[in-house]
């Protein structure tokens, strides 16, 4: 599904040049569950943003679903991203002015789903996340755990092939963190590929493989469990 070769990301200002990613060579197979770990500032979130086509690498090659996208325009990347990738962020990133239902419905509006299709999918995923009773509430009326459930629902409502999760439990207590990890595990078991940034060794154990980053480099990889295609 994902393959990178000598991927680099360099941020440049008038005074300084910072290499956030340096010669990243990475492969993620369809259906795999991969955790990315490392100290703060090592490039984890930058890597996730490049893989999710939110950001663009400075150099190197990036193949997604067999397509080399390094030279894609922003519009081409956006079209590929919205059709195939769901994002779960630490900060939830819900829109305060929209209800739970409307937040989850948003990706389907962008993809041009009909009203009846949107209603069916949103109701289904809210029920799956056990948050349907809150569909008419606004984000600020929910607990942190409930908000993250809504964020996960929004990420998966379009049935993406890939979920990118950036510290999805970072703002949650341990009980709610376990709930979110259980939901991600269930999504993976249903066939979704997951790449997750985490600081937690316990949560990394959910994955097939742990990639360790340091100063923008991949310094090691640990196989947690055998991955069978």
Question: What rounded mean pLDDT belongs to the chain?
Answer: 92
Report how far residue 169's alpha carbon sits from residue 6's, in angstroms, rounded to the nearest whole number: 30
pTM of the model: 0.89
Instruction: Give pLDDT, residue 228.
Output: 67
Centre a 10 Å sphere on the Cβ of residue 117 and count the other Cβ atoms it contains: 12
Contact indicator for 34, 195 with CB cutoff of 8 Å: yes
Q: Minimum mean pLDDT among 53-67, 78-92, 115-129: which range?
A: 78-92
Contact indicator for 48, 164 with CB cutoff of 8 Å: yes
Contact indicator for 36, 26 with CB cutoff of 8 Å: no
Report how far residue 218's alpha carbon sits from residue 189's, in angstroms, rounded to the nearest whole number: 27
Report how far residue 194's alpha carbon sits from residue 163's, in angstroms, rounded to the nearest whole number: 5
Contact indicator for 156, 125 with CB cutoff of 8 Å: yes
At 33-68, the pLDDT tens digits run 999 999 998 999 999 999 999 999 999 999 999 999
In this prediction, residues 67-84 reach a mean pLDDT of: 90
Report how far residue 2's alpha carbon sits from residue 42's, in angstroms, rounded to the nearest whole number: 21
SS3 151: helix
Q: What's the token pair of residue 10?
A: 């360099």
In this prediction, residues 65-72 reach a mean pLDDT of: 90
SS3 46: helix
In this prediction, residues 112-125 reach a mean pLDDT of: 95
Contact indicator for 82, 161 with CB cutoff of 8 Å: no
Instruction: Give pLDDT, residue 219.
Output: 96
Instruction: Give pLDDT, residue 26.
Output: 95
Instruction: Give pLDDT, residue 176.
Output: 80
Instruction: Give pLDDT, residue 71.
Output: 84
Contact indicator for 38, 214 with CB cutoff of 8 Å: yes
At 171-214, the pLDDT tens digits run 878 888 888 888 888 889 989 999 999 999 999 999 999 999 99
User: Who contacts 187 (Cβ-Cβ below 8 Å, separation ≥6)?
Assistant: 152, 156, 163, 194
The sign of the CA dihedral 214, 220, 224, 229 is positive
Report how far residue 203's alpha carbon sits from residue 186's, in angstroms, rounded to the nearest whole number: 14
DSSP state of 132: G
Report how far residue 51's alpha carbon sits from residue 63's, in angstroms, rounded to the nearest whole number: 9
pLDDT tier, 130 (very low <50, low <70, confident <90, very high otherwise) = confident
pLDDT tier, 229 (very low <50, low <70, confident <90, very high otherwise) = low
Instruction: Give pLDDT, residue 183.
Output: 86
Instruction: Give pLDDT, residue 225.
Output: 77
């Amino acid at each position: 599904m994902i393959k990178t070769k000598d991927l680099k990301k360099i941020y440049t200002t008038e005074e300084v040049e910072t290499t956030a990613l340096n010669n990243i060579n990475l492969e993620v197979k369809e259906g795999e569950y991969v955790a990315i770990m490392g100290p703060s500032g090592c490039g984890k979130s930058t890597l996730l943003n490049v893989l999710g086509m939110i950001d663009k690498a400075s150099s190197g090659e990036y193949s997604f679903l067999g397509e080399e996208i390094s030279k894609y325009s922003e519009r081409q990347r956006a079209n590929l991203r919205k059709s195939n990738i769901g994002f779960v962020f630490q900060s939830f990133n819900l829109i305060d002015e929209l209800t739970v239902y409307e937040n989850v419905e948003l990706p389907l509006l962008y993809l041009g789903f009909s009203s009846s299709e949107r209603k069916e999918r949103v109701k289904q995923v809210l029920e799956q996340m056990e948050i349907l009773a809150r569909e008419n509430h606004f984000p600020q009326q929910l607990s942190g755990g409930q908000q993250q459930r809504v964020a996960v629902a929004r990420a998966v409502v379009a049935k993406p092939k890939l979920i990118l999760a950036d510290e999805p439990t970072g703002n949650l207590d341990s009980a709610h963190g376990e709930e979110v990890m259980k939901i991600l595990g269930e999504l993976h078991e249903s066939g979704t590929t997951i790449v997750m940034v985490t600081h937690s060794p316990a949560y990394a154990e959910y994955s097939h493989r742990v990639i360790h980053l340091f100063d923008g480099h991949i310094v090691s990889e640990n196989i947690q469990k055998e991955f069978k295609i």
